[in-house]
Amino acid sequence: MSGFAPNSRRKSKWEPRKPLDASERQLTSAMIASLSAEGADTVSAPFGKALVELAADREDIVGLTADLSKYTDLHVFAKAYPDRFYQMGMAEQVMMSATAGLAKEGFTPFATTYAVFASRRAYDFIAMAIAEDNLNAKIVCALPGLTTGYGPSHQATEDIAIFRGLPNMTIVDPCDALDTYQATKAIAAHEGPVYMRLLRGNVPLILQDYDYEFELGKAKLLRDGKDVLFISSGFMTMRTLEAAKALQKDGVDCAVLHCPTIKPLDVETILAECRKEGRLVVTAENHSIIGGLGEAVATQLMVNGVTPAFRMVGLPDEFLDAGALPVLHDQYGISTEAVITKVKGWVA
């Protein structure tokens, strides 16, 4: 994995800190994404680095952005391959049309923007110009779900629901830097349109401790347990792994099934795990409880006559507040502490 290594750690950086009280946490920058446990390794721009490596061997790889190269890590690609980089300005609909044109000419375009702008503003262009013709275009979008505190204008809490209903569209929601890096290469090898959620900047590195390898369309059991089965995607897999470790100390044995491909769903693996008796099944996602992973799993369970005790952890069906992310994650129930509290209540 050339260019893929965790950022070095200074011992002083990871010394235990006194927890912030509520008033101090409110002052935390809205853009600080506290996605994993403090002290975790990180990798900078795993998507950009993977794309640069792909482009070294594939002249068909091109990159487009709607004035957000720095904020989607496409600036790494732009620096390495300026002749294959297209800055489209703040015109997402135009960018998607250009993406379709490049795909029709035999290129493999990666179009980047924020998830809200792709799913809301440019949806019809993606549907008509890309998905209907089943073109080989990759749409990679930052700020998925509640990964910014800037409020409903930037919080893509319903992007998966929007794209799940679009024929021909594959949907990927990676957990960490390793997942993002490997998924980028996998979707480049896949023929057809893909929507991938993107964690950008210094991305936590978690899955290397679980002998993990991304496979498009496959869910992976990261740990087993007899009391609770978490089925999670995106950074919520980090949270469920953290919650599982904490709950273990209280005698609650938790399994974690990471489901990075939302469409097509790995129904076979999900059903096999959910058929194991005596476990509470809990889906966990950084997305609205409407139309995301939880509903997709629940549908398959009902259709196939599998009926475990079932709960969902996700964002509420409402426009969310603006503010500091640690506060918002606690408020809306997707922090590690919130997951732990919910599960304890459910298994009591």
The residues, any chain, with a CB within 8 Å of residue 213's CB and separated by 6 or more, are 182, 220
Q: Which amino acid is at 240?
A: T
Say how far apart CA 69 and CA 222 lie, in whole Å.
33
Q: Please say if 92 is a catalytic residue.
A: yes
Question: Out of 53, 92, 158, 295, which one is annotated catalytic?
Answer: 92
Q: Which of 223, 238, 333, 335 is nearest to 279 (CA)?
A: 223
The residues, any chain, with a CB within 8 Å of residue 245's CB and separated by 6 or more, are none
DSSP label of 128 = I
3-state secondary structure of 330: helix
Say how far apart CA 202 and CA 177 lie, in whole Å.
8
3-state secondary structure of 34: coil
Two structure tokens written together for 95: 């960018």
C-beta separation of 111 from 65 below 8 A: yes
Catalytic residues: 92
